[in-house]
């Protein structure tokens, strides 16, 4: 049973002393207060808020609650990059076989950790390209419309890249996106999508549905969808189930194989701390991954190693998810992820999730004590239906309040219309971070 929270700093500090993951915080770099590069000086910002009494001192770390957009840099990244630079310097092309981490198979060790994070078998996983590139590549394999089955179901308000991808995939196949894509929206006056509405739409379009493509967590509201339930419903009507897990992997435990998900893609720069533009990841269920004849676009790095260097015509894909690889491993775009995944191995996803549930619940409790600013938490109240992120919806002054948060050394992000996303990542955020955030907000002048 969770102990009751309180609003004192002493409570937060005690929770940090009891936190068995607290030492991981020191293994990351934090941006510094009071200013973050690119933000306008305080005196140039217009707002009905006054935060002078809570302005930070220069020697403090920023309060970083933006791991849902870009994770922090692990301190092990720089030496890891230096290792690859040294091997390139010393070995040249020999680094493909003789580097400390041979480049020829550089991506293979990633699969062990990713298997634990995603609940997938190692042969169902690969790292390659970037998120939307991988989404397009897998849609070319899994979205093959015909006269009978051609419709796509997705969430309304999905991240724009997913919307663009599905719109252009429909056009690629000569289809009208407006007649092909069915968006499931929240009901009138609501912010969240009801799960029964998703299942009802799948059933309603059962005879014409080709694929269901949902974000595992909606980027705007922070709603975690029932991935297993959606997959089962799609399969019941003969459709494919795929997911964009950009906001899920490294945030919430998954069981992709057991849920029978057909395919999934994700980025590595959010909760996985792989760095800006880091290599993406992909999951393909073994029933397809084992099948060398399953349609895909081929490339040299996806060809079976046994025949790759024969340099002959005839694509023979690897009998696993790596059969979707195309190009040589992007070593310098993978090295930060490699360093970060070691930390996930040490911390363990179960422990991270347990801390995240408590950290986010504590954040929710403190936010509900605020009376000087007006907002709604639109992320689900049920902890099982959300990850680390809480989305704060402001009917008024949302952007101005966000700007004041930034000026006060709080790094969060703003999404139109009116949402500030706050995401304490359990690998490096503390209970005291959450309390400091609350204390600064509590000192904002009341907005009429």
Domain boundaries, the chain: 9-61+348-442, 79-345
Strand partners, 213: 242
Give 33's pLDDT tier (boundaries 50, 70, 90).
confident
Give 176's pLDDT tier (boundaries 50, 70, 90).
very high
pTM, two decimal places: 0.92
Instruction: Kindly state the helix (H) or strand (E) to which residue 169 belongs, with its residue range.
Output: helix 160-172
Residue spans of alpha helices (H) in 205-308: 227-236, 286-289, 305-308
Q: Residue 445: its pLDDT value, please?
A: 78
Instruction: Tell me how far apart the terminal alpha carbons of the chain are, to the nearest angstrom.
Output: 39
Q: Of the CATH numbers 3.90.230.10, 3.40.50.300, 3.40.50.280, 3.40.640.10, which one belongs to the domain with range 79-345?
A: 3.40.640.10
**What φ, ψ does residue 311 adopt, rounded to 5°?**
60, 45
**What φ, ψ does residue 111 adopt, rounded to 5°?**
-65, -30
Rounded to the nearest integer, the mean pLDDT of the chain is 93
Q: What is the DSSP letter of 221?
A: T
pLDDT, tens digit (0-9, with 9 covering 90-100), for 273-321:
999 999 999 999 999 999 999 999 999 999 998 888 889 999 999 999 9
Give 379's pLDDT tier (boundaries 50, 70, 90).
very high
Cis preceding linkage at 311, omega within 30: no
pLDDT, tens digit (0-9, with 9 covering 90-100), for 120-155:
999 999 999 999 999 999 999 999 999 999 999 999
CATH class of the domain defined by 9-61+348-442: alpha beta
Question: What percent of the chain clears pLDDT 70, i.e. is strictly above it?
Answer: 93
Residue 45: pLDDT over 90? no
Whole-angstrom distance, CA of residue 111 vs CA of residue 116? 9
- CA nearest to 361, candidates 66, 2, 17, 67: 2
Q: Give the tokens for residue 266.
A: 């994700």
Q: Give the tokens for residue 107.
A: 């991506």
Looking only at the bridges linking them, the beta strands covering 181-184 and 151-155 are parallel
Contact 25, 434 (CB under 8 A): no
Contact 199, 229 (CB under 8 A): yes
Q: What is the DSSP letter of 320?
A: S
3-class state of residue 32 by DSSP: strand
3-class state of residue 421 by DSSP: strand
pLDDT, tens digit (0-9, with 9 covering 90-100), for 217-276:
999 999 999 999 999 999 999 999 999 999 999 999 999 999 999 999 999 999 999 999
Angle between the N-to-C axes of helices 331-347 and 110-118, in degrees from 0 to 180, rounded to the nearest 10: 50
**What φ, ψ does residue 282 adopt, rounded to 5°?**
-145, 145
Contact 272, 71 (CB under 8 A): yes
- Show contacts of 393-402: CB within 8 Å, 24+ apart: 393/191, 393/418, 393/419, 394/418, 394/419, 394/420, 396/447, 397/47, 397/48, 397/49, 397/447, 400/45, 400/46, 400/47, 400/48, 400/49, 401/47, 401/49, 401/373, 401/444, 401/447
Q: Give the tokens for residue 63.
A: 């309060």
Burial 174-192 (b: 16+ CB within 10 A, else e): ebeeeebbbebebeeeebe
pLDDT, tens digit (0-9, with 9 covering 90-100), for 50-59:
334 344 444 5
């Amino acid at each position: 049973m969770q102990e009751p929270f309180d609003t004192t700093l002493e409570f937060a500090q005690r929770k940090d002393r009891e936190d068995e993951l607290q030492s991981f915080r020191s293994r990351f770099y934090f941006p510094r207060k009071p200013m973050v590069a690119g933000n306008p000086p305080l005196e140039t910002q217009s707002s009905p808020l006054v935060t002078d009494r809570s302005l930070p001192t220069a020697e403090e770390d920023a309060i970083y609650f933006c791991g849902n957009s870009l994770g922090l840099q692990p301190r092990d990244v720089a030496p890891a990059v230096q290792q690859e630079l040294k091997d390139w310097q010393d070995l040249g092309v020999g680094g493909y076989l003789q580097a400390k981490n041979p480049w020829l198979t550089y991506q293979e060790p990633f699969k062990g950790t990713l298997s634990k994070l995603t609940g997938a078998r190692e042969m169902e996983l690969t790292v390659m390209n970037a998120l939307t590139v991988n989404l397009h590549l897998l849609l070319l394999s899994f979205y093959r419309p015909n006269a009978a089955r051609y419709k796509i179901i997705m969430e309304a308000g999905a991240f724009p890249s997913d919307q663009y991808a599905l719109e252009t995939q429909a056009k690629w196949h000569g289809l009208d996106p407006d007649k092909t894509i069915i968006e499931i929206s929240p009901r009138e006056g609501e912010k969240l999508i009801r799960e029964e509405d998703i299942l009802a739409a799948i059933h309603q379009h059962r005879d014409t549905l080709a694929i269901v493509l949902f974000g595992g967590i909606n980027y705007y509201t922070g709603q975690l969808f029932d991935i297993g339930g959606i997959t089962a419903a799609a399969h019941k009507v003969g459709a494919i189930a795929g997911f964009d897990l950009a906001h899920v992997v490294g945030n919430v435990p998954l069981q992709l194989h057991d849920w029978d998900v057909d395919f999934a893609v994700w980025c590595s720069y959010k909760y996985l701390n792989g760095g800006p533009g880091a290599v993406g990841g992909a999951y393909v269920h073994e029933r397809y991954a084992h099948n060398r004849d399953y349609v895909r676009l081929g490339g040299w790095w996806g060809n079976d190693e046994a025949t790759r260097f024969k340099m002959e015509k005839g694509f023979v894909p690897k009998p696993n998810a790596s059969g979707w690889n195309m190009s040589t491993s992007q070593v310098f775009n993978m090295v930060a992820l490699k360093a970060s995944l070691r930390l996930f191995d040490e911390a363990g996803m179960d422990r991270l999730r347990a801390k995240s549930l408590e950290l986010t619940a504590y954040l929710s409790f403190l936010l509900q004590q605020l009376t000087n600013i007006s907002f709604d938490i639109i992320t689900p109240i049920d902890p099982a239906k959300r990850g680390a992120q809480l989305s704060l919806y402001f009917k008024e002054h949302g952007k101005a309040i966000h700007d004041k948060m930034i000026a006060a050394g709080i790094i969060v992000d703003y999404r139109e219309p009116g949402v500030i996303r706050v995401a304490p990542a359990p690998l490096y955020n503390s209970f005291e971070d959450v309390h400091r955030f609350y204390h600064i907000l509590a000192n904002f002048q009341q907005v009429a």
